Amino acid sequence: MTDTRRHRGPHPEDRRLFAPDQVPRLVQATAELSWLLARRYSQAAAWKLVGDHHQLHRRQRLGILRCACPPEVATARRARRGPPRGRVVCDGFNVIVGVEAALAGGVLLRGIDGLYRDLASVHGTYRKVDETALAVDLLGGVLRGAEDVLWLLDRPVSNSGRVAALLREAGWETRLVDSADREAATLAEQGWAVATADGPLLDRVGPAVDLVGAVIEALDQVWVVDLGATTSTGSV
């Protein structure tokens, strides 16, 4: 079936699944999953245990998985985060999709580490939406203070070439690579700061930049659900 979406907005069930009356349960579930991960429980086993215990919907389970991490990991990620100065490499689809979702009214979840995650997913296929050009413009505005900026896009993702062309038209150096994560990690070893909200990538690099957060916090009427709030489990 042809993908005809023009926006990366909320799923039809998100208003119910992430409504205010659901948030305390989701905060607790995120904290419990983080607690188990800190004690080296298998991620898959811990995720199922917490999701089943709280009887969470599939999208709620995805949300807590993206927002949970051990408190010490969250602290380390926060400590390495800074403004976009010097050389910055951008995990392209990760940051663009996050801002597109925010602009389209999709839910943004704030995790234990203070970073924002969307519930959209590329899954090997990217489709430009009405918010794409504005998302690139807003992200570019945050990056103007950096000395050098390099955007990385996953070549295997369909339409990546079109996004690369859009970024180049905006004046940014852009590369299509087999794995943006792997290339970003390599550049991080050479002193580049990495702009991403991808947890596993963040844990492999040094300095990091929260581009999505910088854009979101400057926008009005963005739908943010904070799953990193403190609970009795002792989450960050």
232 in any annotated domain:
no
Residue-averaged pLDDT of the chain: 92
Task: Provide φ and ψ at 207, rounded to 5°.
Answer: -60, 140
Return the higher-pLDDT residue of 145 and 48.
Answer: 48
Entry pTM: 0.90
Local structure of 123: helix, strand or coil:
coil
DSSP-derived letter for residue 108 is E
- For residue 206, the enclosing domain spans 14-226
180 in any annotated domain:
yes
| Cα 163 to Cα 22: distance, rounded to the nearest angstrom | 36
9 in any annotated domain:
no
173 in any annotated domain:
yes
User: Quick one: pLDDT at residue 222?
Assistant: 95
User: Quick one: pLDDT at residue 230?
Assistant: 66
The answer, yes or no, to whether residue 175 has pLDDT greater than 90, is: yes
| Cα 63 to Cα 176: distance, rounded to the nearest angstrom | 29
166 in any annotated domain:
yes
DSSP-derived letter for residue 184 is H
72 in any annotated domain:
yes
Task: Provide φ and ψ at 118, rounded to 5°.
Answer: -95, 175
Local structure of 128: helix, strand or coil:
coil
Going by pLDDT thresholds of 50, 70 and 90, the confidence category of residue 236 is very low
124 in any annotated domain:
yes
Q: Give me the number of domains the chain comprises.
A: 1
7 in any annotated domain:
no
119-163 pLDDT, tens digit per residue, is 987 667 888 899 999 999 999 999 998 999 999 999 999 999 999
